[in-house]
Chains A and B, each alone.
Chain A
Amino acid sequence: MTTLTEKDKKAVRAFWSKVSGKAEDIGADALSRMLIVYPQTKTYFAHWKDQSPTSPMAKKHGITVMSGVADAVTKIDDLKGGLLSLSELHAFTLRVDPANFKIISHNILVVMAIMFPTDFTPEVHVAMDKFLAALALALAEKYR
């Protein structure tokens, strides 16, 4: 399910160049949406003093996640190799259940639809969905 065609990569790069300026906003919104719409994800952030979805920690974390996505776009030709150390982080330190990658991906797509309603066509949607799925797989690479 995860081989990105040249068409997919082209679509991802083209859309990303349109939206990268808003990457921080996308990340912050997607993260806070995730905490509200999927409350079980809050279990990973029990160590935050301020658990509310609009807290500065939540916003900062959304930005961190999204800069990972931005980095992945530049490594789209070899996600497994390019994201090796991030995968080790998620596998050995963070140990985020990979089911949650689908959740954050969905919320990223929702935010993209909200912020870029005309650009986020079905064709762009399928390319981004495939890309985020491939990214998730690369992140889960070192889990077991």
Chain B
Amino acid sequence: MVEWTDQERSIINGIFANLDYEDIGPKALCRCLIVYPWTQRYFGAFGNLYNADAIKTNPNIAAHGIKVLHGLDRAVKNMDDIKATYAELSVLHSEKLHVDPDNFRLLADCLSIVVAAKMGSAFTPYVQAAWQKFLAVVVSALGRQYH
């Protein structure tokens, strides 16, 4: 089981309490599709992803970014058992969506960059450590049900 200090819990809850989902979600997903273009393979039905500008203005991508970010809410509410909380989501990503679990790590890195840019100097090394630890647990849980 993952151990969280009170400080870590407070950092994670604090970030999500002040998170602008409509801003951060789209930015993180767009960045992932631009920085790691092979991730576009999962978005064939989303319309024009031909270049960075097309990706940034694609409303389907924006909506999906918000959806994915809200997907983290349940992990925040259940930090003591993220593995169980995401068991179903993991099966979905494996059996239905067929997403290579390495992509979770790529999106997590982009999310960290976008949150860092938003928070500026408030994204201290200690905040970064807690944030990345949280995302690592999420990524691990999402990859757990792959067989």
Contacts and interface: CB of A to CB of B under 8 A. Distances in A.
A87 interface: no
A32 B117 contact: no
B52 to A, nearest CB: 5
Contacts of B128: 33, 36-37, 110
Interface in B23-39: 30-31, 34-35
Nearest to A126: B35
A15 interface: no
B146 interface: no
Interface of chain A: mostly helix, strand, loop or mixed = helix
Decide if the interface of chain B is mainly helix, strand, loop or mixed.
helix
Contact of B113 (A32, A33, A113, A123): A113
A15 to B, nearest CB: 14
B125 to A, nearest CB: 4
Interface residues of B, number: 22
A122 interface: yes
Interface residues on A, range: 10 to 19
B24 to A, nearest CB: 12
A37 B117 CA distance: 17
Contacts of A122: 30-31, 34-35, 52, 56
Interface of A: 32-33, 36-37, 53, 106, 109-110, 113-114, 117, 120, 122-123, 125-126, 129
Nearest to B126: A36
A114 B132 contact: no
A123 B35 CA distance: 7
A36 B35 contact: no
Given A37-B132, A122-B52, A125-B113, A114 B35 contact: no
